[in-house]
Amino acid sequence: MNQAPAMVAPALRIDTHAHVFTRDLPLADVRRYAPTYDVTVEQYIARLDAHGMSHGVLVQPSFLGSDNSYLLAAIARYPQRLRGIAMVDADVSEQQLLALQAGGVVGIRFNLVGGAPLPDVEGVWRTTLERVARLGWQVEIHREAADLPRVLPPLLAMGLKVVVDHFGRVDAALGVEDAGFRYLLSTGASGQVWVKLSASYRNGGAAEGERFARQAWPLLREHLGTARLLWGSDWPHTQHESLTDYGHAWQQFTQLVDDDAQRSIITGQTAAQLFSIC
Protein backbone atom coordinates (compact mmCIF):
# COMPACT_ATOMS: atom_id res chain seq x y z
CA MET A 1 0.00 0.00 0.00
CA ASN A 2 1.36 3.41 -0.94
CA GLN A 3 1.74 5.80 1.96
CA ALA A 4 0.73 9.43 1.68
CA PRO A 5 3.81 11.63 1.47
CA ALA A 6 4.75 13.41 4.65
CA MET A 7 4.23 17.16 4.72
CA VAL A 8 7.51 18.88 3.90
CA ALA A 9 8.11 22.02 5.92
CA PRO A 10 9.00 25.16 3.97
CA ALA A 11 12.49 26.54 4.28
CA LEU A 12 11.33 28.93 6.99
CA ARG A 13 8.03 28.95 8.83
CA ILE A 14 8.58 29.71 12.48
CA ASP A 15 6.22 29.49 15.44
CA THR A 16 7.67 31.96 17.94
CA HIS A 17 5.64 31.14 21.05
CA ALA A 18 4.91 27.78 22.65
CA HIS A 19 5.46 26.02 25.98
CA VAL A 20 6.42 22.55 27.21
CA PHE A 21 6.09 21.28 30.78
CA THR A 22 5.06 18.39 32.98
CA ARG A 23 3.04 18.35 36.18
CA ASP A 24 5.84 16.89 38.26
CA LEU A 25 8.29 19.75 37.70
CA PRO A 26 9.13 22.03 40.65
CA LEU A 27 6.84 25.06 40.59
CA ALA A 28 7.71 28.66 41.34
CA ASP A 29 6.77 29.79 44.84
CA VAL A 30 4.78 32.70 43.40
CA ARG A 31 2.56 31.70 40.49
CA ARG A 32 -0.88 32.36 39.04
CA TYR A 33 -1.43 28.88 37.65
CA ALA A 34 -0.30 25.28 37.97
CA PRO A 35 -0.65 22.79 35.09
CA THR A 36 -2.96 19.81 35.31
CA TYR A 37 -1.54 17.99 32.28
CA ASP A 38 1.78 17.35 30.54
CA VAL A 39 2.98 18.68 27.18
CA THR A 40 6.24 17.27 25.85
CA VAL A 41 8.64 18.49 23.21
CA GLU A 42 7.77 15.45 21.10
CA GLN A 43 4.13 16.53 21.10
CA TYR A 44 5.16 20.01 20.07
CA ILE A 45 7.40 18.79 17.26
CA ALA A 46 4.49 16.67 16.01
CA ARG A 47 2.36 19.81 15.77
CA LEU A 48 5.09 21.69 13.95
CA ASP A 49 5.35 18.83 11.47
CA ALA A 50 1.60 18.53 11.02
CA HIS A 51 1.27 22.21 10.16
CA GLY A 52 4.30 22.68 7.97
CA MET A 53 6.42 24.57 10.50
CA SER A 54 10.17 24.46 10.10
CA HIS A 55 11.11 25.80 13.56
CA GLY A 56 9.67 26.69 16.94
CA VAL A 57 10.49 28.86 19.93
CA LEU A 58 9.86 27.54 23.43
CA VAL A 59 9.05 30.17 26.06
CA GLN A 60 9.67 29.37 29.71
CA PRO A 61 6.29 29.10 31.51
CA SER A 62 5.95 31.56 34.38
CA PHE A 63 4.90 28.81 36.81
CA LEU A 64 8.33 27.18 36.44
CA GLY A 65 10.14 30.36 37.42
CA SER A 66 13.85 30.62 36.62
CA ASP A 67 14.57 26.89 36.56
CA ASN A 68 15.02 26.52 32.81
CA SER A 69 16.30 22.93 32.90
CA TYR A 70 13.24 21.38 31.25
CA LEU A 71 13.31 24.04 28.52
CA LEU A 72 17.00 23.37 27.85
CA ALA A 73 16.46 19.61 27.77
CA ALA A 74 13.67 20.07 25.22
CA ILE A 75 15.84 22.23 22.96
CA ALA A 76 18.68 19.72 23.28
CA ARG A 77 16.41 17.06 21.76
CA TYR A 78 15.91 19.16 18.60
CA PRO A 79 18.68 21.79 18.58
CA GLN A 80 18.38 22.53 14.87
CA ARG A 81 14.67 23.28 15.07
CA LEU A 82 14.14 24.92 18.45
CA ARG A 83 15.22 28.07 20.26
CA GLY A 84 14.30 29.24 23.75
CA ILE A 85 13.28 32.28 25.76
CA ALA A 86 14.29 31.87 29.41
CA MET A 87 13.23 33.40 32.68
CA VAL A 88 16.11 34.45 34.91
CA ASP A 89 16.65 36.12 38.25
CA ALA A 90 18.14 39.59 38.48
CA ASP A 91 21.37 38.21 39.93
CA VAL A 92 21.97 35.64 37.19
CA SER A 93 25.68 35.46 36.42
CA GLU A 94 27.33 36.04 33.08
CA GLN A 95 28.45 32.40 33.06
CA GLN A 96 24.87 31.27 33.55
CA LEU A 97 23.70 33.46 30.66
CA LEU A 98 26.42 32.04 28.44
CA ALA A 99 25.34 28.52 29.41
CA LEU A 100 21.78 29.38 28.44
CA GLN A 101 23.03 30.75 25.13
CA ALA A 102 24.97 27.54 24.48
CA GLY A 103 21.71 25.67 25.10
CA GLY A 104 19.80 27.57 22.42
CA VAL A 105 18.37 30.44 24.46
CA VAL A 106 18.16 33.77 22.61
CA GLY A 107 16.37 36.01 25.10
CA ILE A 108 14.71 36.46 28.46
CA ARG A 109 11.11 37.01 29.40
CA PHE A 110 9.44 39.23 31.95
CA ASN A 111 6.01 37.73 32.62
CA LEU A 112 4.40 40.63 34.44
CA VAL A 113 0.67 40.04 34.08
CA GLY A 114 -1.62 39.92 37.06
CA GLY A 115 -0.08 42.76 39.04
CA ALA A 116 3.49 41.48 39.22
CA PRO A 117 5.94 44.26 40.21
CA LEU A 118 7.73 45.94 37.33
CA PRO A 119 11.45 45.16 37.04
CA ASP A 120 13.83 47.75 38.46
CA VAL A 121 15.66 48.26 35.19
CA GLU A 122 17.87 51.07 36.48
CA GLY A 123 18.67 49.20 39.71
CA VAL A 124 18.94 45.48 40.40
CA TRP A 125 18.32 44.43 36.78
CA ARG A 126 20.73 46.84 35.11
CA THR A 127 23.85 44.64 35.03
CA THR A 128 21.93 41.63 33.75
CA LEU A 129 20.14 43.65 31.08
CA GLU A 130 23.42 45.14 29.93
CA ARG A 131 24.74 41.60 29.52
CA VAL A 132 21.57 40.63 27.64
CA ALA A 133 22.11 43.58 25.30
CA ARG A 134 25.73 42.58 24.66
CA LEU A 135 24.62 39.05 23.80
CA GLY A 136 22.25 40.50 21.21
CA TRP A 137 19.29 38.86 22.92
CA GLN A 138 15.73 40.12 23.10
CA VAL A 139 13.67 40.95 26.16
CA GLU A 140 10.14 39.60 25.91
CA ILE A 141 7.40 41.47 27.75
CA HIS A 142 4.07 40.02 28.86
CA ARG A 143 2.17 42.84 30.58
CA GLU A 144 -1.18 44.56 30.27
CA ALA A 145 -1.06 47.35 27.69
CA ALA A 146 -1.82 50.07 30.24
CA ASP A 147 1.64 49.60 31.75
CA LEU A 148 3.66 49.38 28.54
CA PRO A 149 4.49 53.13 28.68
CA ARG A 150 6.20 52.42 32.01
CA VAL A 151 7.86 49.13 31.07
CA LEU A 152 9.30 49.76 27.62
CA PRO A 153 11.10 53.15 27.74
CA PRO A 154 13.98 52.14 30.06
CA LEU A 155 14.55 48.95 28.05
CA LEU A 156 14.61 50.87 24.78
CA ALA A 157 16.95 53.45 26.30
CA MET A 158 19.42 50.63 26.96
CA GLY A 159 19.32 49.67 23.30
CA LEU A 160 17.56 46.37 23.92
CA LYS A 161 15.42 44.54 21.41
CA VAL A 162 11.95 44.24 22.94
CA VAL A 163 9.24 41.75 21.96
CA VAL A 164 5.71 42.38 23.22
CA ASP A 165 3.50 39.33 23.66
CA HIS A 166 -0.04 38.67 22.49
CA PHE A 167 -0.95 41.87 20.63
CA GLY A 168 -0.02 43.90 23.74
CA ARG A 169 -2.70 42.53 26.10
CA VAL A 170 -5.20 45.37 25.78
CA ASP A 171 -8.21 46.16 27.94
CA ALA A 172 -10.99 44.34 26.09
CA ALA A 173 -13.42 47.20 26.69
CA LEU A 174 -11.07 49.62 24.94
CA GLY A 175 -9.57 47.49 22.19
CA VAL A 176 -7.42 49.49 19.78
CA GLU A 177 -8.34 52.66 21.69
CA ASP A 178 -6.45 51.41 24.73
CA ALA A 179 -3.87 54.13 25.47
CA GLY A 180 -1.25 51.47 26.09
CA PHE A 181 -1.85 49.98 22.65
CA ARG A 182 -1.59 53.44 21.12
CA TYR A 183 1.72 53.88 22.90
CA LEU A 184 2.86 50.50 21.56
CA LEU A 185 2.13 51.72 18.03
CA SER A 186 4.26 54.79 18.67
CA THR A 187 7.30 52.64 19.48
CA GLY A 188 7.47 51.49 15.88
CA ALA A 189 9.71 54.45 15.05
CA SER A 190 12.40 53.06 17.36
CA GLY A 191 13.00 49.97 15.23
CA GLN A 192 13.59 48.10 18.49
CA VAL A 193 10.11 46.68 19.13
CA TRP A 194 8.46 43.55 17.76
CA VAL A 195 4.88 42.43 18.50
CA LYS A 196 3.58 38.87 18.50
CA LEU A 197 0.34 38.33 16.62
CA SER A 198 -0.55 35.57 19.03
CA ALA A 199 -3.23 34.48 21.48
CA SER A 200 -5.85 37.04 20.54
CA TYR A 201 -8.13 35.28 23.05
CA ARG A 202 -6.03 36.77 25.84
CA ASN A 203 -7.48 40.13 24.82
CA GLY A 204 -11.04 39.58 25.98
CA GLY A 205 -11.94 36.03 24.99
CA ALA A 206 -12.33 34.17 21.71
CA ALA A 207 -14.82 36.31 19.79
CA GLU A 208 -13.83 39.67 21.23
CA GLY A 209 -10.15 38.90 20.84
CA GLU A 210 -10.60 37.94 17.21
CA ARG A 211 -12.47 41.18 16.49
CA PHE A 212 -9.70 43.13 18.21
CA ALA A 213 -7.04 41.31 16.16
CA ARG A 214 -8.76 42.29 12.92
CA GLN A 215 -8.72 45.94 14.00
CA ALA A 216 -5.18 45.80 15.41
CA TRP A 217 -3.48 44.10 12.46
CA PRO A 218 -3.62 47.02 9.96
CA LEU A 219 -2.52 49.47 12.67
CA LEU A 220 0.42 47.32 13.70
CA ARG A 221 1.38 46.82 10.06
CA GLU A 222 1.24 50.58 9.44
CA HIS A 223 3.15 51.71 12.54
CA LEU A 224 5.65 48.90 13.10
CA GLY A 225 5.87 47.39 9.64
CA THR A 226 5.45 43.77 8.69
CA ALA A 227 9.12 43.12 9.46
CA ARG A 228 8.51 43.91 13.15
CA LEU A 229 5.65 41.44 13.57
CA LEU A 230 5.79 37.78 14.57
CA TRP A 231 3.40 34.84 14.81
CA GLY A 232 3.13 32.42 17.70
CA SER A 233 0.70 29.59 18.34
CA ASP A 234 0.71 30.02 22.15
CA TRP A 235 0.36 26.22 22.27
CA PRO A 236 -0.92 24.56 24.45
CA HIS A 237 -3.01 27.70 25.14
CA THR A 238 -2.79 27.43 28.93
CA GLN A 239 -6.02 28.29 30.72
CA HIS A 240 -7.71 28.76 27.33
CA GLU A 241 -7.47 25.21 25.97
CA SER A 242 -11.19 25.02 25.26
CA LEU A 243 -11.09 28.07 22.98
CA THR A 244 -8.65 26.92 20.34
CA ASP A 245 -6.04 24.41 19.20
CA TYR A 246 -2.89 24.57 17.11
CA GLY A 247 -4.66 24.23 13.78
CA HIS A 248 -7.21 26.87 14.62
CA ALA A 249 -4.51 29.28 15.79
CA TRP A 250 -2.69 28.94 12.47
CA GLN A 251 -5.92 29.26 10.50
CA GLN A 252 -6.79 32.47 12.33
CA PHE A 253 -3.41 33.90 11.45
CA THR A 254 -3.72 33.01 7.76
CA GLN A 255 -7.16 34.62 7.66
CA LEU A 256 -5.89 37.72 9.44
CA VAL A 257 -2.77 38.08 7.28
CA ASP A 258 -4.20 36.92 3.98
CA ASP A 259 -1.26 37.96 1.82
CA ASP A 260 1.29 35.21 1.21
CA ALA A 261 4.23 37.60 0.95
CA GLN A 262 3.40 39.30 4.25
CA ARG A 263 2.91 35.94 6.00
CA SER A 264 6.29 34.82 4.71
CA ILE A 265 7.98 37.91 6.13
CA ILE A 266 6.32 37.48 9.54
CA THR A 267 6.93 33.75 9.92
CA GLY A 268 10.15 33.59 7.94
CA GLN A 269 13.10 35.94 7.77
CA THR A 270 11.90 38.32 10.50
CA ALA A 271 11.64 35.53 13.05
CA ALA A 272 14.78 33.79 11.80
CA GLN A 273 16.91 36.89 12.36
CA LEU A 274 15.44 37.74 15.75
CA PHE A 275 15.68 34.20 17.13
CA SER A 276 19.05 33.33 15.54
CA ILE A 277 17.65 30.57 13.34
CA CYS A 278 19.93 29.76 10.42
Residue 77 lies in a domain: yes
pLDDT classification of 10: cutoffs 50, 70, 90: low
Percent pLDDT > 70 in the chain is 96
Eight-class DSSP state of 30: S
Interval 73-91: pLDDT, tens: 999 999 999 999 999 999 9
41 has pLDDT over 70: yes
What is the rounded average pLDDT for all residues in the chain? 94
Q: Based on the structure, what is the number of domains in the chain?
A: 1
Percent pLDDT > 90 in the chain is 90
Residue 84 lies in a domain: yes
Residue 148 lies in a domain: yes
> What residues make up the domain containing 98?
16-274
Which among 222, 161, 167, 166 is positioned nearest to 193, based on CA atoms? 161
Interval 24-34: pLDDT, tens: 999 988 887 88
Give the CATH number for residue 117: 3.20.20.140
- pLDDT at position 9 is 46
User: Does 258 qualify as catalytic in the annotation?
Assistant: no
3-state class of 124 per DSSP? coil
Residue 10 lies in a domain: no
Largest separation between any pair of C-alpha atoms in the chain: 66
Interval 213-240: pLDDT, tens: 999 999 999 999 999 999 999 999 998 9
Residue 11 lies in a domain: no
Q: How far apart are CA 66 and CA 268, in angstroms?
A: 29
Which among 215, 149, 254 is positioned nearest to 141, based on CA atoms? 149
Q: How many residues does this entry show for the chain? A: 278
- Catalytic residue selected from 24, 147, 234, 258: 234
